[in-house]
Amino acid sequence: MNMSDRKIVAIHQPNFFPWLGYFDKISRADLFIVLDHVQFPKKGGTYSNRVQLVVNGQAAWLTMPIVRAYHGFRRINEIQIDNTQPWRTGVLKTIQMNYSHTPFFKLIFPFLAELVNNPTDSLVEYNLSAINSLAASLGIDTSKSILSSTLSVEGHATDLLVSIVKAVGGTTYLCGGGAPRYQQDEKFAEAGIELVYQNFRHPVYRQRNTQEFIPGLSIIDALMNCGFEGTKALILDQP
Protein backbone atom coordinates (compact mmCIF):
# COMPACT_ATOMS: atom_id res chain seq x y z
CA MET A 1 0.00 0.00 0.00
CA ASN A 2 1.23 3.48 -0.88
CA MET A 3 1.69 5.34 2.40
CA SER A 4 0.08 8.43 0.90
CA ASP A 5 -3.10 6.42 0.30
CA ARG A 6 -3.21 5.07 3.82
CA LYS A 7 -6.05 6.27 6.05
CA ILE A 8 -5.62 5.15 9.66
CA VAL A 9 -8.76 4.79 11.74
CA ALA A 10 -8.84 4.45 15.52
CA ILE A 11 -11.98 3.66 17.50
CA HIS A 12 -12.55 4.19 21.20
CA GLN A 13 -15.33 4.87 23.68
CA PRO A 14 -15.44 8.41 25.13
CA ASN A 15 -13.44 7.97 28.33
CA PHE A 16 -13.41 10.06 31.50
CA PHE A 17 -10.17 12.11 31.61
CA PRO A 18 -8.27 9.29 29.85
CA TRP A 19 -4.68 8.09 30.21
CA LEU A 20 -1.76 9.05 27.97
CA GLY A 21 -2.30 6.11 25.60
CA TYR A 22 -5.73 7.42 24.64
CA PHE A 23 -4.25 10.69 23.38
CA ASP A 24 -1.43 8.82 21.64
CA LYS A 25 -4.09 6.90 19.73
CA ILE A 26 -5.84 10.12 18.67
CA SER A 27 -2.57 11.65 17.51
CA ARG A 28 -1.65 8.60 15.39
CA ALA A 29 -5.00 8.32 13.64
CA ASP A 30 -6.23 10.12 10.55
CA LEU A 31 -9.79 9.61 11.81
CA PHE A 32 -10.75 8.99 15.43
CA ILE A 33 -14.16 7.38 15.85
CA VAL A 34 -15.85 8.00 19.19
CA LEU A 35 -17.79 4.82 19.90
CA ASP A 36 -20.88 6.35 21.48
CA HIS A 37 -23.71 4.15 20.18
CA VAL A 38 -22.84 0.83 21.88
CA GLN A 39 -24.41 -0.47 25.07
CA PHE A 40 -23.26 0.88 28.43
CA PRO A 41 -22.95 -1.87 31.09
CA LYS A 42 -25.81 -1.70 33.59
CA LYS A 43 -23.59 -2.68 36.53
CA GLY A 44 -20.08 -1.74 37.52
CA GLY A 45 -17.88 1.07 36.30
CA THR A 46 -16.06 1.58 33.03
CA TYR A 47 -13.42 4.01 31.87
CA SER A 48 -16.29 6.09 30.52
CA ASN A 49 -17.14 7.21 34.04
CA ARG A 50 -14.06 6.53 36.15
CA VAL A 51 -10.28 6.83 36.06
CA GLN A 52 -7.36 6.43 38.44
CA LEU A 53 -5.16 9.10 40.03
CA VAL A 54 -2.68 9.08 42.90
CA VAL A 55 -4.47 9.44 46.23
CA ASN A 56 -2.43 9.18 49.43
CA GLY A 57 0.46 7.77 47.43
CA GLN A 58 -1.57 4.97 45.81
CA ALA A 59 -3.67 4.56 42.66
CA ALA A 60 -7.34 5.20 43.45
CA TRP A 61 -10.51 5.65 41.41
CA LEU A 62 -12.17 8.98 40.69
CA THR A 63 -15.75 8.32 39.64
CA MET A 64 -18.40 10.28 37.79
CA PRO A 65 -21.76 9.06 39.16
CA ILE A 66 -24.34 8.21 36.53
CA VAL A 67 -28.10 7.73 36.60
CA ARG A 68 -28.78 3.98 36.76
CA ALA A 69 -32.53 4.10 37.39
CA TYR A 70 -33.56 2.83 33.97
CA HIS A 71 -34.94 -0.40 32.54
CA GLY A 72 -33.44 -2.46 29.74
CA PHE A 73 -30.24 -1.18 28.18
CA ARG A 74 -28.99 2.20 27.11
CA ARG A 75 -26.35 3.29 24.68
CA ILE A 76 -23.41 5.34 25.90
CA ASN A 77 -24.88 8.45 24.28
CA GLU A 78 -28.04 7.99 26.33
CA ILE A 79 -26.28 7.87 29.70
CA GLN A 80 -26.90 10.81 32.02
CA ILE A 81 -24.61 12.09 34.76
CA ASP A 82 -26.11 12.05 38.26
CA ASN A 83 -25.87 15.75 39.00
CA THR A 84 -27.79 15.39 42.26
CA GLN A 85 -24.44 14.47 43.83
CA PRO A 86 -21.72 17.11 44.45
CA TRP A 87 -19.12 14.91 42.77
CA ARG A 88 -17.38 17.68 40.85
CA THR A 89 -16.46 19.40 44.10
CA GLY A 90 -15.20 16.09 45.47
CA VAL A 91 -13.05 15.42 42.42
CA LEU A 92 -11.45 18.85 42.56
CA LYS A 93 -10.81 18.58 46.31
CA THR A 94 -9.17 15.19 45.82
CA ILE A 95 -6.93 16.56 43.08
CA GLN A 96 -6.06 19.63 45.11
CA MET A 97 -5.19 17.60 48.22
CA ASN A 98 -2.98 15.15 46.33
CA TYR A 99 -1.38 17.32 43.64
CA SER A 100 -0.99 20.77 45.20
CA HIS A 101 2.77 20.23 45.59
CA THR A 102 3.39 19.13 42.00
CA PRO A 103 5.38 21.61 39.88
CA PHE A 104 2.60 22.51 37.44
CA PHE A 105 -0.39 22.53 39.81
CA LYS A 106 -0.90 26.31 39.70
CA LEU A 107 -0.89 26.27 35.90
CA ILE A 108 -3.00 23.15 35.35
CA PHE A 109 -5.58 23.31 38.12
CA PRO A 110 -7.59 26.33 36.83
CA PHE A 111 -7.66 24.79 33.34
CA LEU A 112 -8.74 21.45 34.79
CA ALA A 113 -11.34 22.97 37.12
CA GLU A 114 -13.14 24.49 34.15
CA LEU A 115 -13.34 21.07 32.49
CA VAL A 116 -14.47 19.28 35.65
CA ASN A 117 -17.16 21.89 36.33
CA ASN A 118 -18.87 21.40 32.97
CA PRO A 119 -22.55 21.42 34.07
CA THR A 120 -23.95 19.11 31.36
CA ASP A 121 -25.79 15.94 32.34
CA SER A 122 -24.69 14.08 29.18
CA LEU A 123 -21.80 11.67 29.74
CA VAL A 124 -20.72 11.81 26.09
CA GLU A 125 -20.92 15.58 25.90
CA TYR A 126 -18.97 15.94 29.16
CA ASN A 127 -16.22 13.51 28.22
CA LEU A 128 -15.81 14.77 24.67
CA SER A 129 -15.57 18.36 25.86
CA ALA A 130 -12.76 17.39 28.23
CA ILE A 131 -11.00 15.14 25.72
CA ASN A 132 -11.06 17.77 22.98
CA SER A 133 -9.83 20.52 25.30
CA LEU A 134 -7.02 18.32 26.60
CA ALA A 135 -6.04 17.19 23.11
CA ALA A 136 -6.00 20.77 21.83
CA SER A 137 -3.77 21.81 24.73
CA LEU A 138 -1.29 19.16 23.56
CA GLY A 139 -1.39 20.28 19.93
CA ILE A 140 -3.45 17.28 18.77
CA ASP A 141 -5.92 17.88 15.95
CA THR A 142 -9.45 17.41 17.30
CA SER A 143 -11.24 17.91 13.98
CA LYS A 144 -10.57 14.26 13.09
CA SER A 145 -13.17 12.99 15.62
CA ILE A 146 -16.43 11.42 14.39
CA LEU A 147 -19.28 10.02 16.50
CA SER A 148 -20.10 6.42 15.60
CA SER A 149 -23.79 7.27 16.10
CA THR A 150 -23.62 9.45 12.98
CA LEU A 151 -22.49 6.54 10.79
CA SER A 152 -24.50 3.85 9.05
CA VAL A 153 -22.85 0.78 10.59
CA GLU A 154 -23.89 -2.63 11.84
CA GLY A 155 -22.63 -5.73 13.62
CA HIS A 156 -21.06 -6.47 16.98
CA ALA A 157 -17.50 -6.81 18.28
CA THR A 158 -15.00 -7.17 15.40
CA ASP A 159 -17.74 -7.00 12.76
CA LEU A 160 -18.74 -3.58 14.08
CA LEU A 161 -15.15 -2.33 13.99
CA VAL A 162 -14.75 -3.50 10.39
CA SER A 163 -18.05 -1.85 9.47
CA ILE A 164 -16.93 1.46 10.99
CA VAL A 165 -13.55 1.47 9.25
CA LYS A 166 -15.24 0.77 5.91
CA ALA A 167 -17.94 3.40 6.51
CA VAL A 168 -15.33 6.18 6.81
CA GLY A 169 -13.17 4.95 3.94
CA GLY A 170 -10.34 3.73 6.15
CA THR A 171 -7.58 1.46 4.90
CA THR A 172 -5.96 0.71 8.26
CA TYR A 173 -7.31 -0.01 11.74
CA LEU A 174 -5.19 1.10 14.70
CA CYS A 175 -6.06 -1.03 17.72
CA GLY A 176 -4.99 -0.82 21.34
CA GLY A 177 -3.25 -3.32 23.57
CA GLY A 178 -6.41 -4.87 25.00
CA ALA A 179 -7.79 -5.93 21.63
CA PRO A 180 -6.64 -9.61 21.60
CA ARG A 181 -9.13 -10.42 24.37
CA TYR A 182 -12.14 -9.90 22.12
CA GLN A 183 -10.98 -9.12 18.59
CA GLN A 184 -10.87 -11.53 15.64
CA ASP A 185 -7.89 -10.18 13.71
CA GLU A 186 -8.52 -12.30 10.62
CA LYS A 187 -11.73 -10.42 9.85
CA PHE A 188 -9.78 -7.27 9.03
CA ALA A 189 -7.66 -9.08 6.47
CA GLU A 190 -10.78 -10.65 4.99
CA ALA A 191 -12.23 -7.16 4.57
CA GLY A 192 -9.03 -5.84 2.98
CA ILE A 193 -8.17 -3.71 6.00
CA GLU A 194 -4.62 -3.44 7.34
CA LEU A 195 -4.35 -4.08 11.07
CA VAL A 196 -1.81 -2.15 13.15
CA TYR A 197 -1.33 -2.48 16.88
CA GLN A 198 -0.72 0.73 18.81
CA ASN A 199 1.95 -0.84 21.07
CA PHE A 200 1.95 2.18 23.37
CA ARG A 201 4.95 2.18 25.69
CA HIS A 202 4.06 3.99 28.86
CA PRO A 203 6.70 6.64 29.54
CA VAL A 204 8.16 6.98 33.01
CA TYR A 205 8.28 10.48 34.44
CA ARG A 206 8.81 11.84 37.94
CA GLN A 207 5.67 11.60 40.06
CA ARG A 208 6.06 13.84 43.11
CA ASN A 209 3.28 12.29 45.19
CA THR A 210 4.21 8.59 45.22
CA GLN A 211 7.38 6.64 45.96
CA GLU A 212 7.16 4.22 43.03
CA PHE A 213 6.01 5.16 39.54
CA ILE A 214 2.39 4.21 38.82
CA PRO A 215 1.51 3.82 35.11
CA GLY A 216 -1.93 4.00 33.50
CA LEU A 217 -3.25 6.99 35.43
CA SER A 218 -5.38 9.80 34.01
CA ILE A 219 -3.51 12.30 31.88
CA ILE A 220 -4.16 14.69 34.77
CA ASP A 221 -1.23 13.06 36.59
CA ALA A 222 1.19 13.74 33.74
CA LEU A 223 -0.04 17.30 33.33
CA MET A 224 0.43 18.09 37.00
CA ASN A 225 3.95 16.64 37.03
CA CYS A 226 5.16 17.59 33.55
CA GLY A 227 2.99 20.49 32.31
CA PHE A 228 1.52 20.86 28.83
CA GLU A 229 4.80 20.81 26.92
CA GLY A 230 6.26 17.97 28.96
CA THR A 231 3.14 15.85 28.54
CA LYS A 232 3.10 16.56 24.81
CA ALA A 233 6.69 15.35 24.62
CA LEU A 234 5.76 12.10 26.42
CA ILE A 235 3.29 11.34 23.64
CA LEU A 236 5.38 12.56 20.70
CA ASP A 237 8.43 10.60 21.87
CA GLN A 238 6.63 7.30 21.25
CA PRO A 239 8.51 5.10 18.71
**Domain locations along the chain:** 3-236
Tell me: the pLDDT tens digits for 197-231?
998 999 999 999 999 999 999 999 999 999 999 99
Q: Find the Cα–Cα–Cα–Cα dihedral 91, 94, 98, 102, rounded to 10°.
A: 40
Tell me: the pLDDT tens digits for 144-192?
999 999 999 988 889 999 999 999 999 999 998 765 566 788 899 999 9
Q: How far is CA 119 from CA 82, 86, 87, in A?
A: 11, 11, 11
| pLDDT for position 10 | 97
| pLDDT for position 3 | 59
Task: Give the integer Cα–Cα distance in Å for 66 and 136.
Answer: 27
| pLDDT for position 181 | 61
- Contact (CB, 8 A) for 51 and 18: yes
pTM above 0.85, yes or no: yes
